[in-house]
Each structure stands twice: as C-alpha cells, then as structure tokens.
Amino acid sequence: MEGEELIGEVLVTEEDLQRRVGELADEISRDYADRPPLLVAILKGAVPFLADLMRRLTVPCELDFMAVSSYGSETDSSGVVRILKDLDIAIAGRDVLIVEDIIDSGLTLHYLLRNLQARDPESLEVCALLTKPERRRVDLPIRYVGFEIPNRFAIGYGLDHAERFRNLSYVAALKQGDGAA
C-alpha cells in the first residue's frame, strides 16, 4: 500500500492540536516567566510541534536541536540510543526544556534525560506532545503532555512512517497492511 491508503483513523484533529499547543504554551510561559528556557527539540519529529509551540510562548527562549536514533526494529525501541547530532550550546546552568513528539516505551527519553542531566543544567523538564501510556517501560517525569493516545502507531504532525506523513496537520493511526488499522 502507499499514500493515503496508509492513513487510518484520526487520533487528534488539527483543531485539538492547535488548542492544546496554545494551552501548553501558556503554562510554559507562566512557569518560565523569570527564567528564559532553552528549548531542546528532538529531530525530526518534534519540528511542527516546536514551531507552533515556540511562536505561542510569551517568554523569551533559545533553541537548540538534538537528533538521536534508537537501535531496534522499525516500531520498537531497544533503549540503546545513538546521538546523531549533539547540541551546539553548552547547557550548564541553563533551564532546559526538552520538546519531544511522542513518548512510547520511554527508553529514548530515559537515555536523553540521563545524558543531559550529566551536563549540569539548572533545571531539566520535558514537554511531549503525545504519550502512549500502555507502552511505557520506564517511569519518567514528564512535566508537560499534550495528549495520551492509545497503543497505535501514529503518523502526522511530525510523526513519520518510513519518513512519510510528517507534513499532515493532524495525527492519525497508521493503517496496517493487513487492513487492521
């Protein structure tokens, strides 16, 4: 199958995404009113979320990126994480807010939190657009969450399947090849 046949049920509409991103931006702006955050977005999936979120922040912020890949199968993370692109900026003494697309098993974020914590930031928090609680394998402190979604492979609004569908303005479930979505 290819193209739109792979786009299944809508999990989060564009309208709900935009409303929730606004709420998260308000909350973050309040919490960081006196300590401008350094947003650390995780490439590539967090890009649309980051772009919408940061434009709605009313506090000054800085921005940096990391890219990681977790070894494992196409749909399962192994917990062994490789840094493909590291931060440009030193984060010691900074108020760091990680911006992630989705927390699935939590293993990638678990590694990232340990790695960044070792660099001695003033504070380190996580803002994840989506989380799949049923899949969680490690317990993590996630300060800001957009939506909890069911245990389905999600695409759109940054999330890809084989690098496609990141440009959808909503989040949908991937329709599986056997027709079971």
Catalytically active residues, by annotation: 104
Binding mask 109-138 for Mg ion (x = CB under 5 A): ------------------------------
Q: By CB under 6 A, name the binding residues for ligand IMP.
A: 45, 70, 77, 100-109, 153-154, 159
Residue 167 identity = N
For Mg ion, give the closer residue by CB, 2 or 75: 75
Q: Do 150 and 130 meet the contact criterion of CB atoms below 8 Å apart?
A: no
Beta strand segments in the chain, E:
7-12, 38-43, 62-72, 77-85, 95-103, 123-131, 144-148, 154-155, 171-174
Nearer CB in complex with ligand IMP: 42/57 = 42
The nearer residue to Mg ion, 25 or 112, going by C-beta atoms, is: 112
Q: Which residues on neighbouring strands pair with residue 27, listed in sequence order?
A: none
Q: Please, how many CA atoms are within 13 Å of residue 171, restricted to the half-sphere of its CB?
A: 25
> Residue type at 166?
R
Q: 20-59 mask for Mg ion (x: CB under 5 A)?
A: -------------------------x--------------
Binding partner of 146, given Mg ion, ligand IMP, none, CB within 5-8 angstroms per partner class: none
